[in-house]
Structure 1
Amino acid sequence: MKEEDINKCQIQEWYPKFKSISVKTRIHELPESFIQYLLDDSGPFLLPLSISNDDALPNRVHKPEEEEDLITLEGSEDEAEEPNPPPSFPELEMQIQESIETLGGAIFPKLNWSAPKDSAWISSTGNLKCTCFTEIALLLRSSDSIVHDLCHAYDSCVNKTSSRPPSLYLALRKWYPSLQPEMEFRCFVGNESLLGISQREVTNFYPSLLERKCDIKTMIEEFFEEKVKGNFRLENYTFDVYVTRDRRVKVLDFNPWGGSTLPLMFTWEELEERLREENELEFRIVESRCGIRPGLKTAVPYDYLDTSSGSGWDQFLRNADEQLRRQTSDTGAGA
């Protein structure tokens, strides 16, 4: 994998060409001062001072005892250090707030590649829904996942020359509260041919998918042929789609072929073999509760887990595959 392959999967690179068939998104280039704020772990956790006085944690409980280290006790000989003033990014905040309003008042954020999925727990809603700048800052500052974009974007590249892209962007994507996780799918493209489709949420069994499997496969295959094939600037890549209730297909994201992109219901060995032999398209879903992979529901975004050969996740996935084969064999033997 090369740096240029990774770069082509950045949202600000592909979205302008595919925006008519994707989720509504507004993209902002981040100033270096805000990037350094996200990277800074030298002092106490401080949220930016909002120009609109928005509170990212309106329901939090105030505990004065937690702030004792910032208070000078009366009669103390030593004066406590003055706490650093909270940072402020008024120009960026105004731009972001305008975009949020344009997108209907609620968005979920991501950087060039990654979303702060691992910090959803800290928000007042328990998910990535944001309605103001401070909520976005809270999610980004609390996330380990976005460190990938900030420091490790090119770690898997054979021609690595830097640790981060020259510019970092914040993508604000319209929030849709009614999205169904079972209708998101990952598509694998090799030599510009659609080789495989996998259910994206592999930690649950959805019986309704069994009834619609053939129909969904046809919709995604037609969508690829008409809208995606030849329009993305790589021959080998993956892309994620969402199938709506009214039978439309929307592009959600593009990811590199291999590396740290999870193959989900496939293995990369299988996909490489399909690439060499040019097999027909295969669509895989979780077809029973025995096929659920609960270990893949993690705090780390699916796209950037280390599943390389010899890694802990590589071994886990191999064990999960072996366990699934045993379960399937046992079920067949008992029938």
Structure 2
Amino acid sequence: MKKEQVLNCQFSLWYPQFKSQTICSIILPLPQNVKDYLLDDGTLVVSGREDPPTYFADVDGNDNEMDEIQAPEFPEFALKVQEAISSLGGSVFPKLNWSAPRDAYWIAMNSSLKCKCLSDIFLLFKSSDFITRDFTQPFIHCNDDSPDPNLEYELVLRKWCELIPGAEFRCFVKENKLIGISQRDYTQYYEHISKQKEEICRCIQEFFKKHIQYKFFDEDFVFDVYRDSMGRVWLIDFNPFGEVTDSLLFTWEELSGNSLKDDQSEGAAMEQDYPSFRCTNSNLTVQPSPYLSYRLPKDFVDLSTGEDVHKLIDLLKLKRNQQDDEEL
């Protein structure tokens, strides 16, 4: 995998070309001070409200010395974000150039990536290893020795849509040929996928040939799609063809070599150029979510040991603010 392939999968590069085939989105440049805040291990969230200052005793237990906690504020950026959220219907799915904070969904008060304000986004981003990796190690799996390019980081806000996990699929393209399709949520068994896999495979292959093939910047890449209840296929995202991308029900050894097997059902009259299709075939193979391993981040280790009272106070403030909003 080359660094150029990673660069080509940045949302802002492919979105203009495939805008009509994907979810409506707004891209905002990320100011340097916001990036610095997101990478800082200090305050966990930004309230975005004019709350009275919060005080706590110093770490030495001296009650006579009180420190004032003030979460950083970004009024201009916050205004742009709120305007964008409003224009997208009031709720958004946030991500950076490449990644969304899927590993941090559990920390949100609604256990979802659905965000209605900047503080929702900050809470997810500051709790996500995926977001930190975008900032610090975007080219970690690249094998070329060229210097790392300068990156302009962006906040991507996508209109919130209630997507059914059992309708999402990951597609692997090698030399501009669709070679494999995997059920996206491979931890669960979906009976309709097993019953309709030939039709699903055909629809995705047609979508690929009509809208994607020979139109992306590289000949090797991965793209995610969603098939709605009407059978229409929607583009969700592009990812590099390499280990930085989860291969799901395939292995990268299979995908990079020539060892893919055709997993179509017996008796299916499929052309030779159809991809290998894989799904979870029974309840016996259901697995726990791969994101469970991210459910005890360093922030909460700090809280449990009493090393960072700032984070607990800010988390409680966020909860209080959300309750106040619900009462209005």
Once the 2 structures are TM-superposed, how far is the Cα of residue 273 of structure 1 from its aligned partner?
2.8
Alignment of 1:98-177 (within 5 A): 98-159=83-144, 165-177=150-162
Structure 1 counterpart of 2:167, which letter?
M
The 1:96–1:162 alpha-carbon spacing in structure 2 relative to 1, beyond 3 Å, is farther
| Equivalent residue number for residue 278 of structure 2 | 284
| Equivalent residue number for residue 214 of structure 2 | 230
> Secondary structure at the residue paired with 2:90?
coil
| Equivalent residue number for residue 39 of structure 1 | 39
Contact between 1:117 and 1:299, CA under 8 Å: does it hold in 2?
A: no
| Equivalent residue number for residue 171 of structure 2 | 187
| Equivalent residue number for residue 264 of structure 1 | 248
Contact between 1:9 and 1:254, CA under 8 Å: does it hold in 2?
A: yes
Once the 2 structures are TM-superposed, how far is the Cα of residue 174 of structure 1 from its aligned partner?
1.2
Identical residues among aligned pairs (%): 39
Alignment of 1:305-320 (within 5 A): none
Higher relative contact order (CA 8 A, sep 6+): 2
Tell me how far apart the structure 2 counterparts of residues 162 and 169 of structure 1 sit (CA, whole Å): 21
Contact between 1:106 and 1:175, CA under 8 Å: does it hold in 2?
A: yes
Tell me how far apart the structure 2 counterparts of residues 6 and 22 of structure 1 sit (CA, whole Å): 20
Contact between 1:109 and 1:172, CA under 8 Å: does it hold in 2?
A: yes
Tell me how far apart the structure 2 counterparts of residues 87 and 160 of structure 1 sit (CA, whole Å): 38
Q: Deviations over 1:221-272 (max 9, x none)?
A: 0000000001100111110000011111111111111222121111122222
Contact between 1:195 and 1:275, CA under 8 Å: does it hold in 2?
A: no
Q: 1:69 aligns with which of 41, 58, 61?
A: 58
Q: 2:78 aligns with which of 64, 83, 93?
A: 93
Q: Deviations over 1:21-56 (max 9, x none)?
A: 011111111000000001112x3x253352x559xx
> Secondary structure at the residue paired with 1:294?
coil
Structure 2 counterpart of 1:5, which letter?
Q
* Structure 1 unaligned residues grouped into runs of 5+: 55-63, 301-335
Tell me how far apart the structure 2 counterparts of residues 95 and 70 of structure 1 sit (CA, whole Å): 37
Tell me how far apart the structure 1 counterparts of residues 5 and 17 of structure 2 sit (CA, whole Å): 17
The 1:90–1:285 alpha-carbon spacing in structure 2 relative to 1, beyond 3 Å, is same
Q: Deviations over 1:103-141 (max 9, x none)?
A: 110011110111112222221111111101111111112
> Secondary structure at the residue paired with 1:201?
coil
TM-score of the pair, normalised by structure 2: 0.79
> Secondary structure at the residue paired with 1:104?
coil
The 1:156–1:238 alpha-carbon spacing in structure 2 relative to 1, beyond 3 Å, is same
Contact between 2:168 and 2:183, CA under 8 Å: does it hold in 1?
A: yes
Give the number of aligned pairs.
283
Tell me how far apart the structure 2 counterparts of residues 297 and 134 of structure 1 sit (CA, whole Å): 22
Structure 2 counterpart of 1:266, which letter?
F
Contact between 1:203 and 1:297, CA under 8 Å: does it hold in 2?
A: no
The 1:276–1:248 alpha-carbon spacing in structure 2 relative to 1, beyond 3 Å, is closer
Once the 2 structures are TM-superposed, how far is the Cα of residue 298 of structure 1 from its aligned partner?
3.9
TM-score of the pair, normalised by structure 1: 0.77
The 1:33–1:73 alpha-carbon spacing in structure 2 relative to 1, beyond 3 Å, is same
> Secondary structure at the residue paired with 2:83?
helix
Q: Deviations over 1:158-194 (max 9, x none)?
A: 23556685211111111113x2101100001011011
| Equivalent residue number for residue 197 of structure 1 | 181
Tell me how far apart the structure 1 counterparts of residues 208 and 259 of structure 2 sit (CA, whole Å): 17
| Equivalent residue number for residue 6 of structure 1 | 6
* Structure 2 unaligned residues grouped into runs of 5+: 262-271, 295-328
Tell me how far apart the structure 2 counterparts of residues 161 and 248 of structure 1 sit (CA, whole Å): 41
> Secondary structure at the residue paired with 1:114?
coil
Structure 2 counterpart of 1:158, which letter?
N
- Larger mean CA deviation between 290-299 and 183-192 belongs to 290-299
The 1:111–1:267 alpha-carbon spacing in structure 2 relative to 1, beyond 3 Å, is same
Indicate the RMSD between aligned Cα atoms, in angstroms: 2.7
Tell me how far apart the structure 2 counterparts of residues 23 and 115 of structure 1 sit (CA, whole Å): 15
Structure 2 counterpart of 1:291, which letter?
T
The 1:211–1:190 alpha-carbon spacing in structure 2 relative to 1, beyond 3 Å, is same
The 1:257–1:133 alpha-carbon spacing in structure 2 relative to 1, beyond 3 Å, is same
